[in-house]
Amino acid sequence: MSNDGLTELWERLLGAQPDPPPLLVLVTAVLAAAVVLMRPAWRVARNAITIAHEGGHALAAVLTGRRLRGIRLHSDTSGLTLSAGRPSGPGMAFTLLAGYVAPSLVGLTGAWLLGGNRITMLLWVAAALLLLMLVMIRNVFGVVSVVVTMAIVLGVSYYASPQVQAAFAYLGVWFLLIGGVRPVGELQTMRRRGRLPGSDADQLARITHVPAIVWVGVFGAVTIAVLVAGTFLLAGQWLPEVSATAGG
């Protein structure tokens, strides 16, 4: 690639896109909420939440010095991240804690990038993270899920118009922020029915001696707080214009 080509690529990556129409921010929020609330749509879209969840476990394991052995994603939208190291202690606790809060935190990072109109950067960073995760996937369904997701992100970033890229990016970020909350409620429902004795919250309870319901509360508090923070970041794209219109 020539120097001019590299410069153009770099400018495309780091450059800011135009402000999105205020209506786009609102409509994508409503669509994301509908996907989360509608059971058929949620069953399919939840795979993206699982990818972020297991990615959170994997990143936390690496950051705490554990040896990451592999990630599995299943067709029922469950997942499993395997790491080697001490079965207790801060490293294991941080690794377990990271899963349920990861989708929301990824969404918050995306909201921050969108706040600076870095739509292309957001899409490319997402593709890069998916590529890194792909290396550690250890089952066929997981490989297919990550490859398809990565192909969609890359396809939009390369071939879609700026307007479509913006809509896709805002929809994805809203979905992570809103969709990050629902699995916490599902977790407690399944725990109450005795169907998840080995959940992240129960494993945390065993190694920290803090009741599992407290950890469920921590997951819920973090995801809701992040949703509120992300909403303020994204709403900043259209609230000033709305206020100016009302004042005029």
Checking DSSP bridges between strand 79-84 and strand 67-73, what pairing results, if any? antiparallel
Continuous segment of H or E residues that includes residue 72:
strand 67-73
**Rounded to 5 degrees, what are φ and ψ at 64?**
-95, 10
Burial 72-81 (b: 16+ CB within 10 A, else e): bbeeebebeb
Weakest mean pLDDT among 2-16, 61-75, 151-165: 2-16
Tens-digit pLDDT profile for residues 26-66: 999 999 999 999 999 999 999 999 999 999 999 999 999 99
What are the boundaries of each domain within the chain? Answer: 20-239
At 8, list the tokens: 């153009």
Tens-digit pLDDT profile for residues 199-240: 999 999 999 999 999 999 999 999 999 999 999 999 875 555
Position 243 confidence tier, pLDDT thresholds 50, 70, 90: very low
DSSP conformation class of 17: P
Model pTM above 0.95: no
**Rounded to 5 degrees, what are φ and ψ at 137?**
-70, 135
**Is 189's pLDDT higher than 70?**
yes
Of 242, 101, 119, 100, nearest to 173 (Cα)? 119
Please give the share of the chain, as a percent, with pLDDT higher than 70: 88
How far, rounded to the nearest angstrom, does the alpha carbon of residue 33 sit from its chain's CA centroid?
Answer: 15
Q: What is the mean pLDDT of residues 173-201?
A: 94
**Is 130's pLDDT higher than 70?**
yes
Give 3-state DSSP helix, strand, coil % of the chain, rounded to 5. Answer: 75, 5, 20
Per-residue model confidence (pLDDT) at position 248: 47
**Is 14's pLDDT higher than 90?**
no
Per-residue model confidence (pLDDT) at position 120: 87
- Give the integer Cα–Cα distance in Å for 141 and 134: 11
Per-residue model confidence (pLDDT) at position 187: 95
